């Protein structure tokens, strides 16, 4: 009998799922209008300590979705149950959805990271699952910007690249290492940026008192 080489789970392709035509053309157009109208309100993205780290991440962020906020939030919440099944996650209670709109202009990127270690810390909840929705003006005015997902093992050489197609939602566990590949936008026009909505599904942090009841 020939023994097979054991499979290292940490070297496997990480779980992810894709939803096409997630928001629909009308809502995508309203998002584009909102982004362009509020261009001056976008601020440089920070990582986890409220400081800029341009060697790690370059992009601009807007957390105010205005009148679109409730509609967008509901769309992301509607896919939770199916995403948990598809990703093989344990069911969890949703504390809230943490949502931001991101503009990736010429030269933007975000090096390898995990979402449980980035962003603003919250003493009451933690990130469990990540959703990224892509959108942009037609015709497409940028190249690059793929979402690269890595296995858990730092020594693994494999990865999966996912193209940022318009109105495509990608969902994956927040602990999966990933990267936003560099973007090239020759026109330099803000309206031609690679836009995305990042949504982090957060569960309550269990405390001793909550476990004891």
SS3 state at 173: strand
First to last CA, the chain: 53
Q: What is the pLDDT of residue 1?
A: 40
The arithmetic mean of pLDDT across residues 151-160, rounded, is 86
- What percent of the chain lies above the pLDDT cut of 70? 91
Q: What is the pLDDT of residue 46?
A: 87
Q: What is the pLDDT of residue 9?
A: 66
Sheet holding 60-62, edge to edge: 17-19, 169-173, 125-135, 194-204, 96-104, 60-62, 43-44
Buried/exposed code over 64-95 (b: 16+ C-beta within 10 A; e: otherwise): ebeebeeebeebbeebbeebbeebebeeeeeb
Q: What is the pLDDT of residue 2?
A: 42
Does residue 194 carry a pLDDT above 90?
yes
**What is the tens place of the pLDDT at every residue in 37-51?**
999 999 999 887 667
Task: Read off the DSSP letter of residue 119.
Answer: S
The arithmetic mean of pLDDT across residues 196-210, rounded, is 83
**Average pLDDT taken over every residue of the chain:** 91
Give Cβ neighbours of residue 59 (< 8 Å, ≥ 6 apart): 44, 45, 102, 103, 104, 105, 108, 109, 110, 180
Contact 26, 159 (CB under 8 A): no
For residue 164, what is the enclosing H or E element? none
**What is the tens place of the pLDDT at every residue in 106-149?**
999 999 999 998 876 777 999 999 999 999 999 999 999 999 99
Contact 107, 186 (CB under 8 A): no
């Amino acid at each position: 009998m020939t023994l097979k080489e054991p499979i290292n789970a940490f070297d496997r392709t990480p779980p992810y799922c894709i939803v096409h035509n997630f928001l629909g053309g009308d809502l995508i157009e309203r998002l584009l209008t909102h982004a362009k109208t509020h261009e001056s309100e976008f601020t440089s993205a920070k990582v986890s300590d409220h400081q800029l780290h341009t060697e790690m991440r370059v992009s601009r962020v807007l957390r105010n979705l205005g009148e679109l906020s409730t509609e967008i939030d509901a769309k992301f919440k509607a896919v939770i149950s199916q995403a948990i099944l598809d990703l093989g996650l344990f069911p969890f209670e949703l504390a809230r959805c943490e949502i931001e709109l991101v503009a990736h202009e010429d030269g933007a990127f975000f090096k390898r990271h995990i979402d449980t270690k980035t962003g603003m810390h919250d003493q009451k909840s933690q990130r469990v699952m990540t959703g990224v929705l892509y959108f942009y003006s037609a015709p497409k005015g940028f190249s690059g910007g793929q979402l690269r997902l890595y296995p858990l093992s730092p020594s693994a050489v494999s990865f999966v690249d996912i193209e940022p197609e318009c109105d495509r939602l990608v969902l994956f566990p927040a602990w999966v290492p990933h990267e936003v590949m560099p973007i090239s936008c020759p026109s330099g026009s803000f309206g031609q940026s690679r836009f995305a909505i990042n949504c982090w599904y957060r569960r309550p942090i269990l405390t001793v008192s909550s476990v004891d009841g």
